[in-house]
Structure 1
């Protein structure tokens, strides 16, 4: 009987000693799980931040390309204005004929010498044309070629080149940019109906484009030019709301202020 009591007593002591150890091990495991969860959340947050930074960078690149084009347009306008002023103030150039040429003695006739006749090339002789080397064409080079026309103010050539690129590479890497600048070229030429259609197709096809806000802005401008002021105001307000604190939103606000001044 005493042995049984001793055995029960030892068992109770053992249970009391082991229970805290088991609880401590469980607690440590829970702490490890929380640490792993926290680390995973940190990694996820970093990935999300990196993805957001990439998206912001792409948006800034799109805005930079648009602003660069606008600067080049302003530079060309200033150059054209300067040349126009120069043409207005510049005196009419004198005739190329001078008094010396008028007083020069001109022989009655020029006799052909035998030597000159021998030196004349044979009209029947034909030169062999040099072979034409075909240039390499791809999505990027075709886009750069078309965009160079736009930068030089050769708008009709730019339209032809952009349309050819889109027909050749409809799914190319620069198709998005080509589509946008094609619409911009129509807008520059004041072909507003065609530009409106082109920008509308761009928005529908590229909803995540960095130039999406710019396309919306230009549609608002087009509606203003077409005297559809209700639609213009709606688009411009939408640009401000969807793209706050951007250069595009600032341009939209400037046009809205102009409309308010005009009582529109």
Structure 2
């Protein structure tokens, strides 16, 4: 007669089989797969963060390159403007000389035509002394050629970005020719040179002096535009906005006003 297993022992056997049987063996690989999936998700997030940082760096580098290109263009525009102003001044100077020459010739012709016949010798002797006493020397005119040479010397330093030397040269020019035909231009390029050395306060002072002493100068619109740019760099957007609005109001037809309108849209 075969021995019979009791029911409790049979149930214990089933429980043990459930703990260590095929079901438990399958649970291990599933947990490993979940762990690997979590690791992959972490790696994916890390790669996405890295890609985002790289994209940000590329964008910043692109902006830096763009700013460098803008500065190069500004320097080239300044050089071209300087050459244009130099030629315009030479033409103006030649035209002035021609007008002065014709005016002098016309005056001499009129003087000769209105001069009376030569008086007698006694009358000449009577008239000579009073004429010598009353004659006063005319004021010495400004030497336009010397002024132009001094201006061109200072301007040439701006063209090669020797801003410190340019400031010194323009200051000497303005001391010698404070009211010369090129004084307003000298104040503008003094401010430009200061800005080139990142001395924005000195640049603003030069532009403001130009606007104070020469408000009707053709350089006034450019000075106001340069003032606004300096104020933006000094983190003064409200002052820059007010300067640009004043520029557009006072000089609506100028090229500086056109640039000012575009710059103003970036501040709103």
Q: Which has the higher Rg, Structure 1 or Structure 2?
A: 2
* TM-score bin (small chain): 0.3 to 0.5
